[in-house]
Amino acid sequence: MTATSESFTHGVDSDATSGGYTVYSLPTASPDRRVTGRDSPRADAAVKVTGKAVYNTDIVRPGMLHAKVLRSPHAHARIVSIDASAAQALDGVTAVLTRNETDGLQCYGTMVKDQPVVATDAVRYVGDIVAAVAAVDERTALAALDLIQVEYEILPAVFDVDAALDPSSPTIHPLEPRGGLPPYRNGASAALRSDHNVSYEFRYSTGSPDVWGECDHIFEDTFLFSRMNHMHLEPFVTVAEATDEQIEVWTATQSPFNLRQELGHVFNLPENRIRVHVALLGGAFGAKNGPKADPVAIRLSQLSDGRPVRFCMSTEEGFLTVS
């Protein structure tokens, strides 16, 4: 397709006499046209260039609490015990979330639902969330994290794909994979698998294998790619006001309706009991799909009698969450 200020040209398959192209004239501006043929100012330009734009990190609710999370220092370990009594007793702390406060909550995740709100039986990567605290300010929440005592039984871990596929390596996720897959087509297919350390398989095929017999040279290789981070300037951040009957979140997400559906699954609520607000996004590039900071903030709000809870991850935590 090519375009000028007066027309654009679009290729078609059936018109061989004109070279396979059709030329369409663009409308010109006229007094009775309010949009077509006229320049339209960008709706969010003024508030952004004047610094008045409201992003999700700017959201403040009356009586808002602040959340921080305790993360695992181990790649694979069984949680033997958690003692959060000292953290709970600290002045300014309204709630402490551990595996003891997650009964009935479902796991979430993109396609494969294997991520609990906080770790229950074991931690499976460095940075896995073990506990979370809601307090009157971030300093108090961080101080409370230091008071939580966790006893681990270190388990063998795997650190690369080849080791994970080795039948003798430890099983990281012992449960059957659960979730849903998109309706792939045009040569693409996928399936959930319960094989050792493999939960999901994707295949893509195009063309005919008969052409290999016509090739002078055939090259085969295994390609390895490093993990990537989207590196959006705005962190993962959520403000949640929630009870056992309804949830309201102000969150940095690209897919509010998908998020509402996922939160309904996690907290066993119908979607009409969940409201998702999204302010301007400070970058995302695909990273802000599905629950990120939301489940922790929601559960802490429920444990804090419905008071709003803000959970804003650091950039380092964002790497642990998505990369």
Model confidence pLDDT, tens digit, residues 41-66: 888 999 999 999 999 999 999 999 99
Q: Which domain holds residue 248?
A: 62-157+233-322
Q: What is the pTM of this model?
A: 0.84
Tell me, rounded to whole angstroms, the distance of Cα 198 from its chain centroid. Answer: 21
280: CATH: 3.90.1170.50
Q: Please check whether residue 145 lies inside any domain of the structure.
A: yes
8 pLDDT above the threshold of 70:
no
What is residue 36's predicted lDDT score, i.e. its pLDDT?
72
Q: What is the pLDDT of residues 119-175, one digit of tens each?
A: 999 999 999 999 999 999 999 999 999 999 999 999 999 998 899 999 999 999 888
Q: How many folded domains does the chain comprise?
A: 2
The tens digit of pLDDT for each residue in 285-309 reads 988 999 999 999 999 999 999 999 9
Structure confidence at residue 19 (pLDDT): 47
Q: Does residue 132 share a domain with residue 81?
A: yes
**Which bin fits 236, alpha (ψ -120 to 50), beta or left (φ > 0)?**
beta
Per the domain annotation, does 289 fall within a domain? Answer: yes
